[in-house]
Structure 1
Amino acid sequence: MTDTYDGYERLKFDWPAERVLRVTMENPGRMNAADSVMHGELVKVWRDIDEDPRVNAVIIRGAGDAFSGGGDLELVKEMTQDFNTLNRVWKEARDLVYNVINCSKPVVSAMEGPAVGAGLVAGLLADVSIASRTARIIDGHTRLGVAAGDHAAIVWPLLCGLAKSKYYLMTCEPVSGEEAERIGLVSLVTEPEDLHDKALEVATKLAKGAPGAVRFTKYALNNWLRMAGPTFDTSLALEFMGFNGPDVQEGLASLKEKRKPNFDPESPL
C-alpha cells in the first residue's frame, strides 16, 4: 500500500509525535535551495496534508543547518529564457501562497540558518513561525532584480508594519531570528539547540487541541491574508514581469559570482 507522501523527492516526511507530520526540505549540497522539483512539491504538499485525516498539525523545516537557501539559479535562468517555464513557476508561486493559507491544518515552521525564497513563503505564512536566534531571514527579490512579489507584499506589512517591510524588502538586508521576533515578523525565537524541540512542543499542543476550533480559528484569521488578494496578484505580476527585464540579468550575474562551489552559506539568494 502506497503512502500519500511516497512520490516526493525533495520533501522528506516523518511522524515525531501522534498526529504531527514533519516535513523536511532537503536539497543536499544546495542548502535546501528550491529547484524545479522542490518548488512544485512545496505547492502540492499542502493539498495532500489538508486531505490527510491522520494529520492534526504540521512542522516545516530544512535539512541540516539551513532552512532554505533561496531559489535555484538554473531555474531562474530558465525562467528568463523560456515562457512556458516562467508561466509554470508563476502559477506555482501563486498556488504555493494560497495553498499554505488555505490548508486547514495548523502549520509550525522551524527556521535556522538562511531562510530565503520559496521555503521562506512557508516559513513566514506558517501559523506559528519559530526561528533560532542565528537564523538569517532574507527576502532576495530585489537583489535578483525583480519586484518583491509572492508572499512578501501581503504578509510582511501585516506582521511587522509598512516601514519595516519597505526597508527590508527593498534593501534585502538579512533579519536575524532575534530581530525578527522583536519586530513581529516571527512568532517565537529560540536558541539554536532548542529550535526543533520547541517546534515539536508547539505542534504537539496544536495536534492535541480541539481540531475544529483550531482550524476555524486559523481560517478566520487568514481572512486578513485573503483580503489582500488583489495586492498579492498585482505584486506577483510585477515580480514576474521583471524576469523579462535587464535587471534580472545583472542580478543573476552578481549572484553567480557571489555563490561559491557547494553553495556558500553567506550567499543565499
Structure 2
Amino acid sequence: MILKYEDFQFLLFEHRANGVLVVTINRPEKLNAANDRMLFEYAEVWNTVKHDAATRVVVITGAGRAFSAGGDLNGDLAKLGHVEPIVQMGENALNIVYNMIHLDKVIISAINGPAAGAGLALALTADISLIAEDAKITDAHSKIGVASGDHALMLWPLFCGLPKAKLYLLTANQLDGREAERIGLVSECMPRDALMPRALALADQLALGPQRAIRWTKRCLNHWVRQAAPIFDLSVAYEGLNFMEPDASEGLHAFVEKRAPRFPSAPPVPPAPTVD
C-alpha cells in the first residue's frame, strides 16, 4: 500500500512551484536519529513520490542542526541477538537505497549537519548531494562492531575510489564537507547559508527541464550502481550477522554509555618481553 503524505510521522513536506517537493526529516530533538518508524518512512517516501504526478524533483534535508545522525542506538540494543528485528532492519536498509535508485525522479540532498548510518545513506544515495562546509559525516559501523551495511560498500568505491573508501570505512573516521567534496564523495560543498538556496535553484532547473530525458538519464547512470548490488546485499547480511556477536553488544553499549569499547575480538595485546 502506498502511503499518503499525511501518513508520515517524521517527515515534513513542502510542495513548491515547478513540481519541487522539499522533504524535511523532523526529529530535531534527537538530531533526527532514526527509530524503526523513521527507517520505514525513509524507505517508503520514495514510493509515495513515485506515484505523485505533481512532483518532479525532491530536495531532502534535516530539521534543526542535523541532517540525520544515524540510527537510534538505544533502540538497537533491544535487537541484539534477536533474528526478526535484525532481519527487518536489514530489509529497511535495502529498501531505502533501492527505492531511491529505482525512482527515476531526481533527488537532491541538502546535508545541513551531521549525517551517519541510515541518514548518510539518504544523503549519499541522492542523485545530487550538497553539503555544508562544516557538516560532519561518518559511516560509523565499525565503531559499534558491525560491518558497514547501509549503502557505503556499494557506493563509496564508485564515488571516491577504493583507497579512500577503505580508509574511511575501515577506520570510521569523520569527514567534514570540504573533505567529502575533495575526495569526490559528494557533488558540491558550500557555506551553510548557501545550501538550501543552491538546492532549490538546482531543483527548479531540473524541474523545468525535459522530464523524460532527465529521468532516463538517471535510470541509465544508476546501472553503474546496480552492477554493485550483490556487494550491497552481502554487506547488509554481514551487518545482521554481526548483531548476533559479542562485539556488537560491546560496541553499542559503549556508545550509549559514552565510553571507549573493549571489543572481545580484539583483547589487549600483552607487552613484548624485554630483552636483556
For the pair 1:10 / 2:10, whether they are aligned, the reply is: yes
1:192 aligned residue: 192
Mind listing any 5+ residue stretches in structure 2 that lack a counterpart? 260-276
**Aligned residues of 2:27 and 2:33 also touching (Cα < 8 A):** yes
Unaligned stretches of 5+ in structure 1? Answer: 260-269
> Are 2:215 and 1:221 aligned?
no
SS in 1 for 2:243: helix
How many equivalent residue pairs?
Answer: 257
Partners of 2:119 and 2:202 lie apart in 1 by: 20
Report if aligned partners of 2:106, 2:218 keep a CA contact under 8 Å in 1: yes
Rg bigger for which structure?
2
Structure 1 position 81, deviation (Å) = 4.2
- Name the counterpart of 2:117: 117
After superposition, the C-alpha distances for 1:30-51 in whole angstroms (9 at most, x for unaligned) are 0000111110000100111111
User: Following the alignment from structure 2 to structure 1, what is the Cα–Cα distance between the partners of residues 232 and 171?
Assistant: 20
State the SS of the aligned residue for 1:79. coil
Contact 2:28–2:66 (8 Å) recurs in 1: no
- Cα offsets for 1:62-82 (capped at 9, x unmatched): 001110111101331122143
1:17, 1:178 → 2: CA distance? 31
Q: What TM-score does the superposition give when structure 1 sets the normalisation length?
A: 0.93
Runs of 4+ in 1 over 2 A off after TM superposition: none
Aligned mates of 1:118, 1:149 — CA distance in 2: 9
User: What is the SS of the residue equivalent to 2:43?
Assistant: helix
1:110-160 C-alpha deviation (Å, 9 max, x unpaired): 002211111111110111000000011100110111001231111000000
1:39 maps to which residue? 39
DSSP-derived class of the 2:40 partner: helix
Q: How does 1:10-89 map to 2 (within 5 A)?
A: 10-89=10-89
Q: TM-score, normalised by structure 2?
A: 0.90
Percent identical among aligned pairs is: 43
User: What amino acid is aligned across from residue 203 of structure 2 in structure 1?
Assistant: A
Q: Which residue identity does 1:122 align to in structure 2?
A: L
The 8 Å contact of residues 16 and 200 in structure 1, kept in 2 or not, is answered as no
CA RMSD of aligned residues (A): 1.3
Q: Distance in 1 between matches of 2:244 and 2:152?
A: 21
Q: Could you tell me how far apart the structure 1 residues matched to 2:190 and 2:48 are?
A: 30
Q: Displacement of 1:231 after TM fit? A: 1.1
Query: Secondary structure at the residue paired with 2:78?
Result: helix
Aligned partners of 1:224 and 1:78: how far apart in 2?
37
Q: How far apart in 2 are the matches of 1:246 and 1:84?
A: 18
Aligned to 1:183: 183
